[in-house]
A and B are shown apart, each in its own frame.
Chain A
Amino acid sequence: MITKDDWNDALDTWIVEERERLGGPPTPEEVVAYLSGELPLAAAARVRALLVYYPELTPLLTERVEKPRELRKPFALRLYAAAATLAFVAVGATAIREHQRNITPVALSSHHEFTASHTRGPGPSFVLPGGQRRYLVTAVPTKAPTESAYELEIIRNSRVLWTAKDVRTIDDAFVIDIPGEFLTPGAYTLTIRAGERLIDHYPFRVTE
């Protein structure tokens, strides 16, 4: 006998089937194009239906986000106010530093691309300017990665300073976010391994 739960399940099942019929969740590009009114009628109807049938995406139909420049000033002001308050109430320099690290968002100072084909020859191939707060490093391997996960190491004077296991690639490259404090001036090597096999290495130098 059909019950009330069967009724509810029937709607849920229909929604799942409808999502599949419409081709699954929309891509970010489709959503942006839809919200900008750039899609032809049929495509727009499809994206709107998918936004309705995925409850996680439904709020995007009406969510308004302020433009970046309108927010920048108040955010900066809030940050300065927080910093000033902290300066007054600080118990010790270390505590303040730790606290600031916890409350402030991660802002990348610079981005650097290491390309494996540029690593031949003596001496470090890549140079990072010293004194940056963070470094976003994209290491592009010689061959497109085929393993599901890799191991990354940063080595200085034959000593392993940092290891990351089970690293996956993003668009066939390895992306590392390195705190500035970690990279004092000197010569380093970034290595990429798959098990015992060395896939690529990138000698680099951090300037004063």
Chain B
Amino acid sequence: MSRIDELYARYRKPLIGRLIGFGQREDEAADIAQETLIATWKRLEHIPPDREWPYLVTAAFNLARKRHTRGKVPRHGGGKLTNLEDEHDAVDKSPSIESDLIEGEEIRRFRAAFSAAMAELPPETRQAFALRRRGLESKEIAELLGLNEHAVRSRVTRACRILRRRLSPPPGVPWTELLGDDDDHEG
């Protein structure tokens, strides 16, 4: 079996499955997988055999984004369905009546303060915090970031501490509802 045959036999179905997981329709997923496999085949000699899968997934994801057909993306850990870019666009297109403008200004100031607080954190701490907010547990985050669980917990705790220091919670909403528990009570 040649390497191109192997590529099709091994990855076509898993790649379609992954694309469906990205929110693609089945027919779109099959189409993107086909195009990705052909494009990958042309560069096959530059891809180590044990890196074919990450190459294919990244290429397929980028192609799907390019086609602007991506639907709702499920968050890891059973969180809400969301599409970050869509939400971002939606915010920018808010109505322009006066009260909304005032509220919009308040939200913009809050976001700026939030971004400033995030900027205070080291990159790894920001990543651990983002993954925790996506619903992942310390053990999973540790594996993804190549850290031990204790290091993950301390980074998430640090991130929460800085956000608490820099921002105020909405009246009546406890911090744990906004930031989740610092710890996932594992171990």
Contacts and interface: CB of A to CB of B under 8 A. Distances in A.
Interface of A: 1-4, 6-7, 9-18, 25-29, 31-32, 35-36, 45, 48-49, 52-58, 60-63, 65, 67-69, 71-72, 75, 105-109, 111, 136, 170-171, 175, 177
Given A105-B12, A108-B4, A12 B87 contact: yes
B130 A32 contact: no
Contacts of B115: 10, 14, 17
B144 A58 contact: yes
B10 interface: yes
A60 B1 contact: no
Contact of A171 (B39, B65, B75, B144): B39
Contacts of B87: 9, 12-13, 16
B8 A107 contact: yes
Contacts of B55: 28-29, 31-32
B49 A68 contact: yes
B114 A55 contact: no
A68 B57 contact: no
A57 B21 CA distance: 11
B59 to A, nearest CB: 4
Contacts, number: 157
Given A10-B114, A106-B8, 16 more contacts: A4-B177, A7-B169, A14-B115, A28-B55, A31-B55, A45-B123, A55-B75, A55-B134, A56-B22, A57-B57, A65-B50, A67-B49, A72-B6, A105-B12, A107-B1, A171-B42
Determine chain B's interface SS by DSSP, over half rule. helix
Interface residues of B, number: 69
8 contacts: A4-B173, A6-B107, A10-B110, A25-B58, A25-B61, A29-B46, A54-B61, A109-B5
Nearest to B106: A2
A16 B88 contact: yes
Nearest to A31: B58
Nearest to A51: B144
Given A6-B107, A105-B9, A171-B42, A52 B61 contact: no
B91 interface: yes
Interface in B2-40: 3-6, 8-10, 12-13, 21-22, 34-35, 38-40
Determine chain A's interface SS by DSSP, over half rule. helix
Interface in B164-187: 168-171, 173, 177-178
A61 B136 CA distance: 14
* Of B56, B87, B114, most A-chain CB atoms within 10 Å: B114
Contacts of B98: none
Contacts of B49: 67-69
A15 B132 CA distance: 13
A26 B54 CA distance: 11
Nearest to B136: A58
Contact of B35 (A56, A72, A170): A170
